[in-house]
Chain A
Amino acid sequence: MAARPDRAPPGDPLTPRVVRVLKRRRDAPRTVTLDIAADDATAFQPGQFNMLTAFGVGEVPISLSGDPADTNRRVHTIRAVGPVSSALARLAPGDALGLRGPFGSGWPMAAAHGHDVVLIAGGLGLAPLRPALYRLLAERQRYGTIALLYGTRSPDEILFRRELAAWQRRHDIRIGVTVDHAPSDWTGHVGVVTRLIPGLALDPANTLAFVCGPEVMMRFTIAALKEAGLGDAAIHLSLERNMKCAVGLCGHCQFGPVFVCRDGPVLCHDRLGGLLGLKEL
C-alpha cells in the first residue's frame, strides 16, 4: 500500500511559511526547476507534494522532484500553464514564495524492498517519480532490477536531460526514453511509452510499477502492465485533481471515495476499483 504519514504535522496547515528560491534552472520550454531553501529539516517521502503560493496571485500543488536525502532544499519542477504556475516559474534566486507541506502519500518504497521496480512516466509525470529513483539508487542493494520508462512529446521537452544521460550510462538501471514526435536527428524511440513495456520482460510476480503521467497515459499503461501479468495490487499511480486545501477539508480533489490530497496522490490501483476507466469522474 502507499505509504502515509501517521498523523498531521504540527502547526497551522492552512498558512504558508515564507521561503526563498536558491536556484532556478530551465528544464524545457515553459518548465523550470526551483531549488527552495528548506526552512526545517523535515524529511519528505518520494511522491509527496507541497502547496506553493505566489503571493497575491494564488496557490497550486506541486510535487517534490528532488532528492529526499537532501534536507537543505525543496526542489520543485513547475510548468507555466496558469497564472499561479507562471508567476512561480518567473521567480528568481532570492525571491520569496509561500510553502505548505509536505502533504499526501508517497510511493511504497519500503514495500518494494526485495522486488523489481519499474517507473513509468509521461511528460511532467517524471518530476514526482524522480525522488523515488534517487531513493532506489541510494539504496540500490535493497531492490531487484530497476527500470525507468519515460515518454514525452518531443526531444526538446525531455526533463532532467543530463541526469537521464548519466543514469543511462549505469549498468544497474534500465532507462527507456520515447517521444511522440521527433525531428530527423532523433535516434531514440518514437511512440507511446507503453510500447516499451514488453521489451522489459517484467517478472510479473515480483515487480512493482510506479506510474505518473496524464490520465489517458496511465489508463493505457495500466492495461499494458496487466497484459504483462502485473496485478492491480502491484500498480501504484500518482493522481492529479484540482486541490485547494491539501488537507482533505475543501472537497475539490475527490475521485470517487478518494480525497487525492489526503489518501493520495499515490494510490494503489486495487483501491480504485476500475474508477479510472470512467469518464469525467
Chain B
Amino acid sequence: MTIKILFVIISGFGGGLAVGAGFVAFLTVLGLIPRLTQLTKTKKLIHWYEWAVIFGAIAGTAGGLNFPVFYFPSFFAIPIGLASGMFVGMLAAALTEVLNVLPILAKRVYVEDRIIALLMAIVFGKVFGSLFQWVYFVDYR
C-alpha cells in the first residue's frame, strides 16, 4: 500500500516536473517576457514576472482540478477575457512562423514599405476569425 502511494506520488511529481519545465521552456523560446519588460521598461522586475507565470500556472492547475465557483458579477469576465486574449495574441505574434514569413513575403511582392499593412492583415484576420468562431461557428456543429 505504502509503495503504491509512493509510486503514485513520484509519478505525479515527475509528470508535473516535466510539464512545468516544458511550459517554461516554451515561454523562454518565444521570448515573451523579455519583450514585455522591454516595452514597459521594467527589466529589473523580471523575477517578479517569473513568479507571476509560476503562480498563474499553479492557480490554473488547482482551478482545473478542484473547480471552485466564485459567483462574481458577470462583467468580471471582461478583464479576464481581455487579458487571456492579449496573452494568446502575443504568443501568436511571437511564433517564429509569423516572424519568418513576413520578411520573405514582403520581399517577394515588393511591399517592403507596407509591411505594417500585411501585419495588420494577420491581426485583423485573427480578430475576425476568433469573433466569427464564437458568434456563429460554434452553433454549427
Query: Real complex partners, A and B?
Result: no
